[in-house]
Amino acid sequence: MTNGHGQLLNVAEAAEMCHLKVSTIRRWIFNRRLPFVKLGRRVLLRSSDIEALIEQNIVPARDGRQ
């Protein structure tokens, strides 16, 4: 499913995209660390939000000087 913000993923697909456990994604949803879409009983996440989470957590490489 797609929308203006990218594809909608279920929890398992989001976990696979991040190489994390499903339980980790569910905990982040419960703690409101990740925005989500609730359609009936389904919990979906925008792929753009997952990509933003990855970008926000990039640790830059050191330049080698100390």
User: What is the per-residue DSSP string for 12-34?
Assistant: HHHHHHHT--HHHHHHHHHTTSS
Local confidence pLDDT in tens for the 66 residues of the chain: 554 557 999 999 999 999 999 999 999 999 999 999 999 999 999 999 999 999 999 999 988 776
Enumerate domains of the chain plus CATH numbers. 2-56 (3.90.105)
pTM flag (> 0.85): no
- CA 66, CA 53: separation in Å to the nearest integer? 30
